[in-house]
Structure 1
Amino acid sequence: MTTPLKAKHRDIWASGDYAAVAADVIPDLGSVLVQAAGVGPGQRVLDVAAGTGNAAIPAALAGASVTASDLTPELLAAGEKLAEARGAVLDWVAADAEDMPFGTGEFDVVLSCVGVMFAPFHQAAAGELVRVCRPGGTIALLNWTPAGFVGQLFAAMKPFAAPPPAGAQPPPLWGDEEHVRELLGDRVTGVSARTGSVRVERFAEPGDFRRYFRDNYGPTLAVYRSLAGDPDRTAALDAALDELAGRFRAADGSMRWEYLLLTATRSGGPATP
């Protein structure tokens, strides 16, 4: 059953053009996660909050049997076209990361690349990641850090956005190692975590970033739409995003967006089936 909150989230991610954002800004990020998870032929892999398949498609091309799940059918439809163009065969399933329609222990590897972090109730989503992974299987997550560029983007937008529902937690907390360790708890072992960054060269000037994200990135687009008719607050948001992009911009115009990459083994069994 779709709740008003889930419908709102689905509409946010269906707006704009996330397929373009993934392709233009972070095209290789999913492959980083797939490699870190050791995905290979014969494995049953679930990509949670897969979007347009940034990690799911490379996992399928690595020979795994892949299911890509996401709350937003429009993203799955776009991903299916991308997969076909790249010769990747996988299943696309509309699913809520906090209540997935998959069996307990169904997958050998459970992935999420800057996806599950946007499920508002972190503990519920973490519980589902663990539940659907078989004992001895791998959970691998790549999420934007709070102090990195995207974490600071959400901090910059917060004063202009509607307040979150009671009990919801900020997405960038999934980029904090201790937070994720607490979410997964003793249901996993062998946790390994490191920070990395993606080099973004798409935006020559701070204003280029602001305009691109205003038009294409669902969460930013939603905040701008909420300010329609209020030119002063719109101008203040413009200034905040320009300041942010300028702060993270190197002398050559590039940016570094930091992420946390965390892998763990599901407790309760050997590392191989």
Structure 2
Amino acid sequence: MSANAATEHNSEMESLKARLKATWECGDYGHFATYMASGALDFLERIGIQPGERVLDVACGAGQISVPAARAGARVTGLDLADNLVAQARAWAREEGVDATFDQGDAEAMPYEDASFDVVVSLIGAMFAPRPDRVAAELLRVCRPGGRIVMGNWTPEGFIGGMFRIIGKHVPPSPLMVPPAKWGDPETVKERFGSGVSSLDLTRQIYTFEYPFPPADVVEFFRVYYGPANRAFAALDDSGQEALRRDLEQWWSAHNQATDGGTRCEAEYLHVTAIRR
């Protein structure tokens, strides 16, 4: 790559990262995630974090993992790209009376020393950074040798992977953006961590989305509160928005298991536990 081409590529990447930051800062992820709290706690319980462990929550959102982990006695630091989510996480920690630190920062270049943490966690978060090889390198770098890296990543074949494909059909992603759901593919995860880990456990788990309202209202809820859906709808004209809404409503309706007028869909994710070499 020539110097000019490299400069142009870097400029395009910085522009993409600025758009991603703006995407996650729109809507209201803290409110959006209230319906995901149960699944987050199930994920946290599966990790088995111990009191006193130094825990880094990468792409921590509004603190859905960080605050309960701190409540359980872990020494928690949360990192997120979105300033408003960092503020929400800090506010929640204060309300709960727990001691946790929250920083604004990038999963591709984390502001921490090597081997700073015993457990490095990311639930449906770091998978959205555009350069996964850098993310993998950073997750390994900040984790101590013998420590754990634990991720929960939507699978390409699962319910949310399918929703991403629908949105991408209507609003194609940047060519610089590696598909986030590749983090849910076992062979890809093995390749990304490579020789940096001494063991790697990969299991498929279910995250249940449950709402007390019908699929059409779920789609509207995503449009208002979930940044990527919010920005996708905003990028379309009226007819484009209607087409996207129709496809998403059909997807949620087709997978709805609720029989009480609400919505209940099961989304597969890959639970990753890696031991840092």
Structure 2 residue 28 is matched with structure 1 residue 17 = yes
CA 1:81 to 1:122, structure 2 compared with 1: closer, same or farther past 3 Å? Answer: same
Separation in structure 1 between the aligned mates of residue 276 and residue 18 of structure 2, nearest angstrom: 31
- 2:6 aligns to what? none
- Find the partner of 1:232 among 239, 246, 252: 239
Q: 1:34: how far off?
A: 2.6
How many angstroms apart in 1 are the aligned matches of 2:72 and 2:166?
38
Name 2:16's counterpart in structure 1.
5
- Does structure 2 retain, via aligned residues, the 8 Å contact 1:29–1:113? no
Q: 5+ residue gaps in structure 2?
A: 1-10
Partner Cα separation in structure 1 for residue 209 and residue 256 of structure 2: 10
Deviations 1:100-140 (A, max 9, x none): 11111111100001000110111111110011001000000
Counterpart pick for 2:122 among 98, 107, 112: 112
CA apart distance, 1:170: 0.9
Q: Given the two structures, how large is their TM-score scaled by the length of structure 2?
A: 0.90
1:3 partner SS: helix
Gaps of 5+ in 1: 268-273
| Residue 3 (structure 2) aligns with | none
Matched, 1:175 2:184: yes
- In structure 1, the partner of 2:51 is 41
Give the secondary structure class of the aligned counterpart of 2:163.
Answer: helix
Offset, 1:4 = 2.2
Do the aligned residues in 2 keep the contact of 1:53 with 1:79 (CA within 8 Å)? yes
Other-structure match for 2:39:
29
What amino acid maps onto 1:239 in structure 2? Answer: R
Deviates more, 1:247-256 or 1:181-190: 247-256
Alignment of 1:143 onto 2:143: no
Matching residue within 243, 247, 252 for 1:245:
252
Tell me, yes or no, if structure 1 residue 61 matches structure 2 residue 68.
Answer: no
**Matches of 1:32 and 1:66 in 2, distance apart?**
18
Give distance in 2, aligned partners of 1:209 and 1:7. Answer: 28
The residue matched to 1:130 in structure 2 has which SS? helix
**Counterpart mapping for 1:155-234 below 5 A:** 155-166=165-176, 168-202=177-211, 204-227=213-236, 230-234=237-241
1:127 to 120, 130, 137: 137
CA distance in 2: counterparts of 1:203 and 1:155, whole angstroms:
25
SS of residue in 2 equivalent to 1:39: coil
Deviation readout 1:180-214 (Å, 9 max, x if unpaired): 11111111122112111122220532211111101
Q: Deviations over 1:5-31 (max 9, x none)?
A: 2221111011001001111x2102332
Identity of aligned residues (%): 38
Q: Counterparts of 2:139 and 2:43 in 1: how far apart (Å)?
A: 16
SS in 2 for 1:26: helix
After the TM superposition, which of the residue ranges 74-83 and 245-254 deviates more from structure 2? 245-254
Query: Which has more helix, going by share of residues?
Result: 2
